[in-house]
Structure 1
């Protein structure tokens, strides 16, 4: 690595989030660690992403701009990483924010632990501004088995670019989210380990509407099915535990349904709808006699 080559490449895809981009990029500029470049990827965004990106590129030469046709988050990340010069990669969504010491604290783990391939941290989930904290996410574990049923690592975790090359990048067919979970499984099932800095160094914007929110509400089961089929060998290795986990999910779902049916609101709703059901039956019988 030459003196002019950055050690870390931060990849910031943007699609319809130009209104957040300034805040995200300022958190990059404010880093206490300075051996970085930032690749802003305009994923065919119809808003003013390009104007914001040019402003930051003119402000600091470490910001670079890449424009491409819309292809989804995985495609945008892959495009940015393909031109990245750093030894390490940090994906950062355009609406999220880094703590000023994020790079300094995470890169130091690689310096002290040569076995580690990915470094994450505690994350603050916030709404509107970083002081409005919703929850603090504290990842656990250090290997593939810890990622099988819960995605412990947020997308904004630092890793070696070599890993991206080895697994073929992010899966561009996954346009409904969880592409980072798939990527971590692809990396760790090869024997690579991750480490967690036990400090809240990353701020994740919890939006009321987003691709991830939509996936969790309507498509989570389908996407998880895809993940299990794609990485079936590691789930087969964990077969007994896998059965326990999914049985637990079924039991939990049934209990929730039973509690709902026993709730006062459910009983009142059935009572209110009963006349309409009777009316429907009456109409059906009348129609059948004509």
Structure 2
């Protein structure tokens, strides 16, 4: 039986010095039916030069260039042209274990929405990434799954892709909340297949330092998925900065999201905040 095609999506912006290590980890996969789409998001460094060397090395590497639009935009551009049934996002400064795709593919015939694995830090910080056990009620509070989990392209199509308004971070968390619900099945491999490069300018580090961006991003996610919070975890309100927002800021954020959020749930929350 033909192995399902897995499309690995590698957004690249100003981190060409890490690309070889990342792409080598894709080439080293024991699972062979993959394509790797490298998306140059208007990078000013040597991203194109490095990427083209990999397309010459193996035809499964595909190069795509676009104007700068941010991480979500770059992922969306790569997934748009991807031919695989399953998608694996992989940032160009990270890497994956050689058996990740093979072990994940063994679960494709089961009813899983997301498949991921154990993870480790490397770079400025080393050691195991202690990930909490996945529960739907808990992922509403904090992201429990790193960006490099596998999901079906059809689910990406259904929810409209990654949200390009989340340019400061939390786009992975938002995407998981978009494709998951209380009935979704999520599987975590007992295998360390993801290596996250921790450095001083990592997006999650910067977001925790810049409180304004952190508040914006988390409140954006909260309002966008408000109906889920009020149904499954209405106590989550206490975990967000939303209580400190002015009502006009709340309404402005809801308009930016542009998801028809002025519903009874939003009115209920505005009344609560009043």
Normalised by the size of structure 1, how large is the TM-score?
0.78
Please state if 1:60 is matched with 2:54.
no
SS in 2 for 1:119: strand
Number of equivalenced pairs: 240
Please state if 1:94 is matched with 2:92.
yes
Normalised by the size of structure 2, how large is the TM-score?
0.82
For 1:1-290, list aligned pairs within 5 A: 7-111=5-109, 114-127=110-123, 133-142=126-135, 144-189=136-181, 191-218=183-210, 219-243=213-237, 245=239
When structure 1 is superposed on structure 2, of 63-72 and 101-110 the one drifting more is 101-110
Cross-structure match for 1:264: none
Offset, 1:135? 3.5
1:6 to 1:67, Cα distance in 2 relative to 1, 3 A? farther
SS in 2 for 1:110: coil
Offset, 1:164? 0.2
* Contact 1:167/1:186 (<8 A) preserved: yes
Q: Root-mean-square deviation (CA), in Å?
A: 2.1
* Contact 2:218/2:240 (<8 A) preserved: no
**Gaps in structure 2 of 5+ consecutive residues:** 245-274
Q: Over residues 110-132 of structure 1, what are the superposed CA-to-partner deviations in whole Å (9 max), with x where a residue is unaligned?
A: 23xx221110111101225xxx6
Q: Distance in 1 between matches of 2:240 and 2:90?
A: 32
Q: Distance in 1 between matches of 2:64 and 2:52?
A: 10
Cross-structure match for 2:253: none
Q: Distance in 1 between matches of 2:49 and 2:163?
A: 29
* Contact 1:6/1:85 (<8 A) preserved: no
**Gaps in structure 1 of 5+ consecutive residues:** 251-290
Offset, 1:140? 1.2
1:47 to 1:145, Cα distance in 2 relative to 1, 3 A? same
SS in 1 for 2:113: strand
SS in 1 for 2:204: helix
Q: Runs ≥4 in structure 1, deviation > 6 angstroms?
A: none
Give the structure with higher Rg (CA). 1
